[in-house]
Structure 1
Amino acid sequence: MTTIDANAARTVAPESSASGVNWAPIIAGALAAVGVTLILTLLGSGLGLTMVSPWSSQSAAVATVSISAAIWLIIVQWLSAGIGGYLTGRLRTKWVSVHTDEVYFRDTAHGLLTWALATLVVVGVLGSALSSIVGAGVQAASTVTSGAATVAVSKAGDSVGGSSYFVDSLLRPADPRKLPANANVTDTSAAQVATILANGAVSGSISPDDQTYLTQLVAAKTGLSDSDAKTRVDTILKNAADAKAKAQQAAEGARKAGAKLALFGTLSLLIGAFIGAVAAVIGGRERDDMKAL
């Protein structure tokens, strides 16, 4: 029994006290990846600004901009993670008396750690920008459900003083030349009109009683006939509904763009993790091959 125990003790290799993680090449690779990310991010921002113009006829569509941004995110992750992982693999210390499979695993782990460290640094540097991107999608979703009505309300009656375009359009006199110089056609009627329009924007429609009252109020304040006043009311209500629909479409477009950007951002991170791990394996193998020569 003593001989068997001694032979077993000789066949079991002693446990190494050295860590399997080399942080120096990981940090170096992560810094390189962060630098590449910042450079490519600035380049992408410049290219993105060339697609946007204050003139609607010269600006790219929202879908085109969002797709281009998503593709650029993947490119940024691909290049930065690849360079960082490769440098980590080339700069790591050669592992002696380590099985080939273990070397492969350690290189993969080092590449993944390099990508993770670089991602954390980038998030810390660009955290506010990323929060703005995600927040834009959340805010857009909120706008679609409730805020779009508020946008329409602001256009339909944003003050009880009657300063909004729609309120002024409803209470515009038929012939301003016939009004006294000190006449104030909006007074408290504007507040009533704004309240009706705001309630209709929130509820989704204006009741027949409110429409009738608006017609009567417009006829009394503008000198129009009942039929002309009703035509004006119908026209303004249609314009208000169109404004609300445009606000909802814009909010929905922003929500979809934010959601797509978040999904593509997740995909780009996963691609970056994979590329970083593979690049570290390639760099490590090349270093071992060069060492052997």
Structure 2
Amino acid sequence: MSIEAPPVDVTPAVRTRAPDAWTLQWTPIVAGALTAAAVSSILLTFAATVGLGVSSAAPTWRDASVALWLLSGIYLVLQALISFGCGGYVAGRVRAPYDLVSDDTERRDGMHGVTAWALAIVLGVILSAMIASAANRQSSTSPPATTTEPSVISYEIDHLFRSPRRVPTADLAPARAEAGRILLTSSSHSGVSTDDRAYLVQLVTATTGLTGADAERRVDNAITDARTAIKHARAGTIILSFSIATALLLGAIDAWLGAESGGRHRDGMPLSGWMLRSNRYHRRRDMWRRPASLPE
């Protein structure tokens, strides 16, 4: 009596390779970036509506307090945290989980959140460049670039050439542009030179009809006011740049943490404290809405 051995499967075993840690899924990344851009646009529009801003070319902005500057910068940071946190959460929540359980799940989710943050920034820069290009595009009615005066000190130039008996047909665009470029030197270490000051006095005399001490007094006041306006505009630009850099750096961290929270919510893992409180609130609301069962 012979015993037959069972057939042996000689097919080579196929090893399932774990997904690469640097592999990205672009659908959740694009969804997170669009979410971050949309939320950021809404919050910035709201801030512009209520009057929050870090810099402005309007003359009334020079009377703004330092508290308003700081409040505007803090709001810029907060809106970045909210928008990039939402974008990172969407990127982590929408990302499809891998077949194999890996210890690097949170790191993968965080990388998707940071990539969504980077894509949202690129979209924002492209949109801002398109808007700036459309605003600065020369048209048939716009003045040439050589006769354009500095917008920061437009009010000071208006006050410099103010006259009750000006000739209606006089073209002051070249003179205003030249005076504006001279007034810009008031913020330098040496200030306006003696020759430039004398030239401004002659220009004011020829344009407004003022002579002697009146013309010199107006020029001196314009130089002082221009120096103050440029100093305010420079301070606003510094605060704006610092606020943007801080908001972007904190936004990257927030996008990483938001993506990790979205991944934990997707996988049914223990959630953060604020997410647990939110889920508890929704459960209580559902229990309040659910009708009580009738006794049999």
TM-score, length of structure 2 as denominator length: 0.57
Change over 3 Å in CA distance of 1:260–1:14 after alignment to 2: same
2:194 corresponds to 1:205: yes
| Aligned residue in 1 for 2:105 | 103
Quick one: distance in 1 between partners of 2:31 and 2:157? 55
Quick one: distance in 2 between partners of 1:39 and 1:21? 28
Match of 2:212, SS state, is helix
Stretches of structure 1 lacking an aligned partner (at least 5 in a row): 1-8, 133-141, 158-163, 169-193, 223-228
| Aligned residue in 1 for 2:257 | 278
Match of 2:194, SS state, is coil
Quick one: distance in 2 between partners of 1:270 and 1:288? 28
Larger Rg: 1
Quick one: distance in 2 between partners of 1:151 and 1:59? 11
Given that 1:62 and 1:257 are in contact with CA atoms closer than 8 Å, whether structure 2 keeps it comes out as no
Aligned-pair RMSD on alpha carbons? 4.8
Partner deviation per Cα, 1:39-84 (whole Å, 9 max, x = no partner)? 11111110117999x895x996164443333222212211111111
2:100 corresponds to 1:79: no
Quick one: distance in 2 between partners of 1:154 and 1:250? 14
Query: Percent of aligned pairs with the same residue?
Result: 26
**Match of 1:273, as an amino acid?**
A
Q: Which residue of 34, 38, 56 maps to 1:35? A: 38
Q: Which residue of 238, 245, 254 maps to 2:217? A: 238
Given that 1:123 and 1:130 are in contact with CA atoms closer than 8 Å, whether structure 2 keeps it comes out as no
Given that 2:18 and 2:100 are in contact with CA atoms closer than 8 Å, whether structure 1 keeps it comes out as no
1:113 Cα offset (Å): 0.6
Quick one: distance in 1 between partners of 2:246 and 2:255? 14
Given that 2:85 and 2:255 are in contact with CA atoms closer than 8 Å, whether structure 1 keeps it comes out as yes
Quick one: distance in 2 between partners of 1:243 and 1:13? 80
Match of 1:75, SS state, is helix
* Structure with more of its chain in helix, by fraction: 1
TM-score, length of structure 1 as denominator length: 0.58
Quick one: distance in 1 between partners of 2:131 and 2:226? 24
| Aligned residue in 1 for 2:121 | 119
Which shows bigger deviation, 263-272 or 20-29? 20-29
1:265 Cα offset (Å): 0.5
Quick one: distance in 1 between partners of 2:76 and 2:155? 32
Quick one: distance in 2 between partners of 1:121 and 1:72? 21
Match of 1:29, SS state, is helix
1:98 Cα offset (Å): 4.0
Given that 2:157 and 2:222 are in contact with CA atoms closer than 8 Å, whether structure 1 keeps it comes out as no
Change over 3 Å in CA distance of 1:17–1:92 after alignment to 2: closer
1:204 Cα offset (Å): 2.7
Quick one: distance in 1 between partners of 2:53 and 2:245? 25
1:155 Cα offset (Å): 5.9
Quick one: distance in 2 between partners of 1:35 and 1:48? 20
1:105 Cα offset (Å): 1.6
1:1-293 equivalences under 5 Å are 15-16=17-18, 20-48=23-51, 61=64, 63-100=66-103, 102-127=104-129, 165=163, 204-205=193-194, 233-289=212-268
Quick one: distance in 2 between partners of 1:115 and 1:122? 11
Stretches of structure 2 lacking an aligned partner (at least 5 in a row): 1-11, 135-148, 166-174, 186-191, 271-296
